[in-house]
């Protein structure tokens, strides 16, 4: 998670294998990251 001013601005994941990093996925859509940024 990348936060700015207390708000979640971005979520990213890294896919890795024994050979190294396969992919980096960034999500900036506020509607999609709302579930991640919601308080537990």
- Is the residue at 39 inside a domain? no
- Is the residue at 8 inside a domain? yes
- Is the residue at 10 inside a domain? yes
Average pLDDT, stretch 12-32? 93
- Is the residue at 36 inside a domain? no
* pLDDT score recorded for residue 37: 66
pLDDT at 12 over 80: yes
Q: Which residue did the predictor score with more confidence, 2 or 23?
A: 23
d(CA 26, CA 13): 7
Number of compact structural domains in the chain: 1
What is the value of pTM for the model shown?
0.59
What the block records as the tokens of 21 is 């990093």
- Is the residue at 14 inside a domain? yes
Its domain, for residue 25, covers 2-29
Helix then strand then coil, in percent of the chain rounded to 5, is 20, 55, 25
What's the mean pLDDT when you consider all of the chain? 87
Average pLDDT, stretch 18-33? 93
Helices (H), the chain: 30-37
């Amino acid at each position: 998670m990348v936060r700015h001013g207390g708000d979640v601005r971005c979520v990213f994941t890294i896919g890795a294998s024994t050979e190294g990093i396969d992919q980096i996925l960034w999500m900036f859509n506020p509607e999609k990251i709302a579930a991640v940024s919601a308080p537990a």
